[in-house]
Amino acid sequence: MSFVANSYRLQNGGQIDRQKPLNFSFNGDVYSGFEGDTLASALLANRVTMLSRSFKYHRPRGIFSAGEEEPNALLEIGQGARREPSCRAPMVPLREGLVARSQNGWPSLGFDVGRSIDYSHALWPAGFYNKTFKWPSWHSWEEIVRRMAGLGRPLTEADPDHYEQVNAHCDLLIVGGGPTGLAAALVAGRAGLRVMLVDQNESFGGVLNWEPYQLDGADAGQWVQSVADELASLAHVTLLPRTTVAGSYDHNVTTLLQRSSGSGWRECYWTVRPRQVLLAAGAIEQGMIFPENDRPGIMLAGAVRDYLHRYAVVPGEKVVIAANNDTAYQTALDLHQAGITVSAVVDGRVQIDAERKQQLQALGIELLAGARIAGTRGDKALREIQIEQMDGIQLGRKSCDLLAVSGGWSPRVHLFSHARGSLKFDVNSQSFHPDRLPKDFSVVGSANGTVGLAECWSETVRATEAICASLGRKAADLKLPVIDQAPVESAQVSHLAVNSRKKRQWIDLAHDVTFGDAELAVREGYVSVEHFKRYTTTGMSVDQGKTGNLNAFIALGALTGRETGSVGTTTFRPPYMPVTLSAIAAPYNGKFFAPRRLLPAHTVHQQLNGAFDDFAGWQRPECYPRVGETEQQAIQREALAVRHGVGVFDNSPIGKIEVRGPHAAEFLNRFYINNVLTLKTGKVRYGLMLNENGIIIDDGVFVRLAENHFLVHTTSGGAARITEMMEEWLQCEWPGMQVLLDDTTTQWANFTVAGPAARELLTRLGTDIDISADTLPHMSAACGQVMGLDARVVRVSFSGELSFEINIPARHAAAFLQAVLLQGEDLGITPYGIESLMVLRLEKGYLHLGSDTDGTSTPDDVGWGVVAREKATDYIGKRSLFRPANLDENRQQLVGLAPADASQPLEPGAHLLLGENRQVPARTDGWVTSACYSPNLKRPIALGVLAGGSRRMGEIVTVIDEQKRYHARVVEMVQFDKGNERLKS
Amino acid sequence: MNNVTTTLSALQQAGTEDGHVQRASLKLREVRDASVIRIHSLDSGQVTSDLQSSEIELPTSVGQSQGRDPVVMCLRPGEWMVFSEALQASQLLEQLQVCQSKSTAIFDASDALATFRLSGKAAPWLLAKLSSLDFVGNINSGQHCARTRLGQVAVVVNYRQPGGDEPAYDLIFDRSVVRYLWDLLQHAADHAEELSATNT
pLDDT in tens, A302-322: 999 999 999 999 999 999 999
Comparison of pLDDT for A454 and A149, the residue scoring more: A454
Contacts of residue B151, Cβ cutoff 8 Å, sequence gap at least 6: A587, A588, A592, A595, B130, B180, B181, B184
In A, which residues are within 8 Å of B176 by CB distance?
597-600, 618, 653, 746
CA-nearest of A496, A633, A728 to A933 is A633
Q: What is the pLDDT of residue A64?
A: 98
| Cβ distance of B110 and A811 shorter than 8 Å | yes
Inter-chain touch A746–B175, beta carbons under 8 Å: yes
Name which of A591, A594, A787 is nearest B3 (Cβ-Cβ). Answer: A787
Is B177 close to A602, i.e. CB distance below 8 A?
no
Separation in Å, CA of A611 to nearest CA in chain B: 16
* Among A residues 209-248, those touching chain B with beta carbons less than 8 Å apart: 235, 238
Does A877 have pLDDT greater than 90?
yes
Residue contact A263–B187, C-beta within 8 A: no
Residue A249 at interface with chain B, using a CB cutoff of 8 Å: no
DSSP state of A731: I
DSSP for residue B150: E
DSSP secondary structure code for residue A925 in this structure? -
- Option in B131, B177, B195 nearest A597 (CB): B177
Q: Which residues of B touch A747 (CB under 8 A)?
A: 107-112
- What SS3 state is found at A18? strand
Kindly report the average pLDDT of chain A as a whole number.
Answer: 94
Peptide bond into A575 cis (omega under 30): yes
% pLDDT > 90, chain A: 89
From the CA of A587, how many Å to the nearest CA of chain B? 8
Question: Quick check: A594 contacting B, CB < 8 Å?
Answer: yes
Those residues whose C-beta lies under 8 Å from the C-beta of residue A759, and which sit 6 or more positions away, are A771, A772, A773, A802, A804
Mean pLDDT of A783-790: 96
Per mean pLDDT, which range of A13-17, A150-154, A540-544, A732-736 is the poorest? A150-154
Does A2 score more than 70 pLDDT?
A: no
Instruction: Give B111 to chain A, closest Cα distance, Å.
Output: 5
CA A542 to centroid of chain Cα atoms: 14
Looking at the predicted structure, is the pLDDT value of residue A239 above 60? yes
Assess contact for A582 and A445: CB atoms under 8 A. Answer: no
Distance (Å, whole) CA A858 – CA A855: 9
Q: What per-residue confidence (pLDDT) applies to B1? A: 53
* Bond into A777 cis (ω within 30): no
**Longest CA span, chain A:** 115
Least confident of A286-290, B1-5, B94-98: B1-5
Report chain B residues whose CB lies below 8 A from the CB of A599. Answer: 176
CB contact under 8 A, B191 and A238: no
List the A366-369 sheet strands across, edge first.
Answer: A298-300, A402-406, A318-323, A341-347, A366-369
Return the residue in B4, B79, B129, B183 with the most chain A beta carbons within 10 A, the one to mutate for interface testing.
B4
Considering only CB atoms, which chain B residues are within 8 Å of A814? 6, 8, 13
Smallest Cα distance from B1 to chain A, Å: 4
A619 has a chain B CB within 8 A of its CB: no
Least CB–CB distance from A747: residue in B7, B111, B134:
B111
Inter-chain contact A166–B184, Cβ cutoff 8 Å? Answer: no
* Interchain proximity B176–A600, CB inside 8 Å: yes
Pick from A166, A745, A789: CB nearest B195: A166
Tell me how close the Cα of A577 comes to any Cα of chain B, in angstroms. 22
Give A969's pLDDT tier (boundaries 50, 70, 90).
very high
Confidence of residue B99 (pLDDT cuts 50, 70, 90): confident
User: In this model, does residue A917 exceed pLDDT 90?
Assistant: no
Nearest CB to B13 within list A265, A747, A814: A814
Pairwise CB contact (< 8 Å): A809 & B180: no
Asked if A722 contacts A657 with a C-beta cutoff of 8 angstroms, the reply is yes
CA distance A180 to A191: 17
Could B40 and A742 be called an inter-chain contact, meaning their C-beta atoms sit closer than 8 Å? yes
Provide φ and ψ at A483, rounded to 5°.
-90, 105
Measured CA to CA, the distance from residue A158 to residue A974 in angstroms comes to 49
Q: For residues A430 and A564, is the Cβ–Cβ distance under 8 A? A: yes
Buried b (16+ CB within 10 A) or exposed e, A747-761: bbbbbbbbbbbbbbb
Least Cα separation, residue A369 to chain B (angstroms): 53
- Mutual orientation of helices A549-560 and A515-523 as an angle, nearest 10°? 50
From A380's Cα to the closest Cα of chain B, the distance in A is 46
Mutation site, A163, A169, A748, interface B, largest B CB count within 10 A: A169
pLDDT tens digits, one per residue of A807-838: 999 999 999 999 999 999 999 999 999 999 99
Position A5 scores a pLDDT of 45
Candidates B2, B4, B187; nearest CB to A587 = B187
Q: Radius of gyration of chain B from Cα atoms? A: 17
What's the pLDDT at A192?
96
pLDDT of residue A527: 96
- Sequence-separated (6 or more) residues with CB below 8 Å from residue A455: none
Which DSSP string corresponds to A279-293? Answer: E---EEE-----TTT
**Which among A166, A588, A602 has CB closest to B13?**
A602
CB contact under 8 A, B177 and A596: yes
pLDDT at A1 over 60: no
Q: Give the containing element (helix H, strand E) for A559.
A: helix A549-560
The answer to whether the beta carbons of residues B180 and A596 sit under 8 Å apart is yes
- C-alpha separations of B170 from A853, B75, B88, B123, B159 in Å: 42, 14, 18, 11, 7
What are the counts of helices (DSSP H) followed by strands (DSSP E) for chain A? Answer: 25, 51
Closest residue, chain A, to B183 (C-alpha) = A592
The Cα A719–Cα A712 span in angstroms is 9
Contact A165, A268 (CB under 8 A): yes
How big is the CA angle at A84 (ends A80 and A89), to the nearest 5 degrees?
A: 130
Cross-chain residue pair B8–A595, CB shorter than 8 Å: no
pLDDT of residue A120: 94
Residues of chain A numbered 252-281 and touching chain B (CB < 8 Å): 263-265, 268, 271, 273
* Cis previous bond, B70, omega within 30: yes
Q: Which of residues 331-370 of A touch B (CB under 8 A)?
A: none
Q: Chain B partners of A815 at a C-beta cutoff of 8 Å?
A: 4-8
With CB atoms and an 8 Å threshold, state whether B13 touches A618: no
DSSP states of A466-505: HHHHHTT-PPPP--PPPEEE-----S--------TT----
Nearest chain B CA: its distance from A474 CA (Å): 20
The 10s digit of each residue's pLDDT in A697-740 is 999 999 999 999 999 999 998 999 999 999 999 999 999 999 99
Q: Kindly report, residue by residue over A71-115, the tens digit of the pLDDT.
A: 999 999 999 999 999 999 999 999 999 999 999 888 999 999 999
Residues of chain A with pLDDT > 70, as a percent, come to: 99
Q: Which residue of B has its CA nearest to A817?
A: B4
d(CA A34, CA A32): 7
Q: Which chain A residues are Cβ-neighbours of B107 within 8 angstroms?
A: 658, 742, 744, 747
CB contact under 8 A, A811 and B111: yes
Between the CA of residue A601 and those of A639, A819, A885, what are the distances in Å? 21, 12, 46
Q: What is the pLDDT of residue A10?
A: 93
Residue A124 has pLDDT above 70, yes or no: yes
Residues 6+ apart with CB under 8 A from A834: A615, A620, A621, A622, A623, A649
Three-state DSSP string of A63-96: CCCCCCCCCCCEEEECCHHHCEEEEEHHHCECCC
Residue A249 DSSP label: -
Would you place residue B194 in the very low, low, confident or very high pLDDT band (cuts 50, 70, 90)? confident
Interchain contact, A658 vs B105, CB within 8 Å: yes
Contact A84, A578 (CB under 8 A): no
Cβ-defined contact of B5 to A788 (cutoff 8 Å): yes
Subunit contact A597:B176, Cβ cutoff 8 A: yes
Q: Which of A169, A263, A766 sits opposite B134 (nearest CB)?
A: A169
Cβ(A905)–Cβ(A883) below 8 Å: no
Burial (CB count within 10 angstroms: exposed 0-12, middle 13-18, buried 19+), residue A901: exposed
**Contact (CB<8Å) B15/A167:** no
Burial class (CB in 10 A: 0-12, 13-18, 19+), A556: buried
- pLDDT tens string A647-657: 999 999 999 99
pLDDT tens-digit series, residues A435-480: 999 999 999 999 999 999 999 999 999 999 999 999 999 998 889 9
Q: In degrees rounded to 5, what are phi and psi of residue A889?
A: -75, -10
